[in-house]
Amino acid sequence: MILTLKANIAKKQIKEIEDKVKELGFSPEVSQGKEKTLILVKGENAILTREVFEAFDSVDFITPISEPYKLVSKKWKEKTVIDAGGVRIGTDRIVLMAGPCSVENLGSTMNIAAAVKEAGAVVLRGGAFKPRTSPYSFQGLGEEGLKILREISEETGLKIITEAMNSEQAQLVEKYADIIQIGARNMQNFELLKSCGKARKPVLLKRGFSNTIKEFLMSAEYIAAEGNNDIILCERGIRTFSDYTRFTLDISAVPVLKSLTHLPVVVDPSHPAGKRDLVEPLALAAVAAGADGLLIEVHMDPQKASSDGAQTLYPDQFSRLVEKASKIAGVLGRKI
């Protein structure tokens, strides 16, 4: 539940309520704005203690949160804007994150970085650790790939997003990258979620391809519960009976998530498409639906890419996509 306190109350009164919350076995989260102070009482069945806090003169009113996710709920906070090394995500500017599926070497990745930056990208995506269906597929360069990404960031000014698959990798990725990505297969890897919750870098959390919106938000809650509120939600397609595309992009997830949470929402159109010619229409649909960013795979020569070549755009295709997306964004009062 959320306790909304009366205006102009003293810090001592806030402390008294915090102490009472802890005494009852729950955790308090305080948000102090210019006009009002809110205290989120975290814990199962916290609402049962409502009468205790109604007795405090400093409490103006109490709002129950029926959803199991509290910290990421829109009832707790209206909007979050995330700062990833100077790139702000969740504003009227739609953030473009683009690059190869896998970091292959310094030269090719640098060329891709230059191309996507020229087209309008501000974040370079690229996998150093690659979760693959086949154990015989390219698994990534590991820390060497992270070093390459960091070098390119320093050279180009692009910020870096890359994936971690376990807690140990998360610490390594935090050292080199600006945004830690949790992939779809790890959406419910709770130890990894907790580890990223302790990180001091923003986290992009991808929705699992068999998970509901509620499960998605509960995974985000795991991260927030550990203290990291800089979470970016990413819709990347779910499994349905369709067998033409790789996955089915749940475009409705964008407005649904925006109605339920204060966190920014981005879309990865590459993975649900599975085919290069479908990436652009899915990306444009995401912009029209209100996405705060796009995460797109781009390679100088997709046919020679180490992974996901079939769904990866050529630089000129990415440039044309950005031009069209900018027009749609303008109609909505946004920009790229």
The string of pLDDT tens digits covering residues 188-240 is 999 999 999 999 999 999 999 999 999 999 999 999 999 999 999 999 999 99
Asked if 315 and 276 count as a contact pair (C-beta separation under 8 A), the reply is no
SS3 86: coil
Rounded Cα distance, 276 and 223, in Å: 33
Burial track 214-239 (b if 16+ CB lie within 10 A, e otherwise): eebbbbbbbbbbeebbbbbbbbbbbe
CA neighbor of 71 nearest in space, from 220, 273, 240: 220
Asked if 233 and 266 count as a contact pair (C-beta separation under 8 A), the reply is yes
Higher pLDDT, 119 or 132: 119
Q: Is the pLDDT of residue 139 over 90?
A: no
What's the CATH code, domain 2-63? 3.30.70.1140
pTM for the model stands at 0.91
The CATH class of the 82-331 domain is: alpha beta
Instruction: Output the pLDDT for position 18.
Output: 94
Asked if 173 and 180 count as a contact pair (C-beta separation under 8 A), the reply is yes
Domain ranges within the chain, ordered by starting residue:
2-63, 82-331
